[in-house]
Amino acid sequence: MKIVVIVRLNPVLTDELELAEDGTDIDREWVGLEINQFDDQALEQAVLLKESSNAHVTAITIEDEGTERLLKTALARDVDDVFHISFEDDIEDRSSRALAPVYAAAIRELKPDVVLVGVLSTDDLFGELGPYLAADLDWPQASAISDFHIENDKIIVRQEYSGGRAALLEMNTPAVIGLQTATQPPRYVAGSKLRDLLKVSIPELQVTSTPNNDKVGTQELALPDLSDGATMLEGDTDEIADQIHSLLQDKGIL
């Protein structure tokens, strides 16, 4: 079985973030980047399937600043092949909706049985990349998946629902899976393994594709208001209870 995993970089959200001058994005000049946590889960699940069923795993991403290290990290985690996707159109809009046709063109070139992608990312908060890809490729698709394994050339996925419910689905291949969590935490990559890959050249996968004209845009971003912190209550149990009672009265709750 051939598996393609889409991996993307996201801003490190624990860093101190500043807004760009137009107020529609964060200032990305100095912000750190890291693998999208859900794509990290998808990568781990693909490697687990390689170990259990001899699947062939390929990681792909659209070429950008920092993506070379991202793909070398994938190699260090025992991925078989990696590719930078390159295309002629130089666009500023890198939302999942805009870039879905580019990913789909790369997937057609690679001809996998399964595409794994993280269910969400910072530019894909509604999990649209998986369904967009499936629609473009005319493949079946399932998202919010917490388990994925192979039985008799079928893929079996566990789809999560609200209220703690879940269902097991049997799917034919080829298919697109929006993964929420792998069956075990992503493995640690030793720095020595990354150093061994420093001189490895990442191949390009040139595709001919036109990105979507994404009609959804950000109008305004705002940083959280941190001017007011929590109110710390001090004293013994009775004194704290009296303070809570007074606060609830002041707020009109009591």
Q: Is the pTM here over 0.85, yes or no?
A: no
Q: What is the pLDDT of residues 197-211, one digit of tens each?
A: 888 899 999 888 877
In 3-state terms, what secondary structure has residue 245? helix
- Residue 37 and residue 61: Cα distance in Å, rounded? 15
Tokens 């946590």, residue located: 37
pLDDT on residue 47: 95
pLDDT on residue 25: 77
**CATH code assigned to 2-206:** 3.40.50.620
Q: What is the pLDDT of residues 63-122, one digit of tens each?
A: 888 899 999 999 999 999 999 998 876 666 677 888 899 999 999 999 999 999 999 988
Averaged pLDDT for residues 175-186: 93
C-beta separation of 180 from 41 below 8 A: yes
Give me the sheet containing 114-118, strands edge to edge.
Answer: 166-171, 154-160, 141-151, 175-179, 114-118, 2-6, 56-62, 81-86, 204-206
For residue 174, say if its preceding peptide bond is cis, omega within 30 degrees of 0: yes
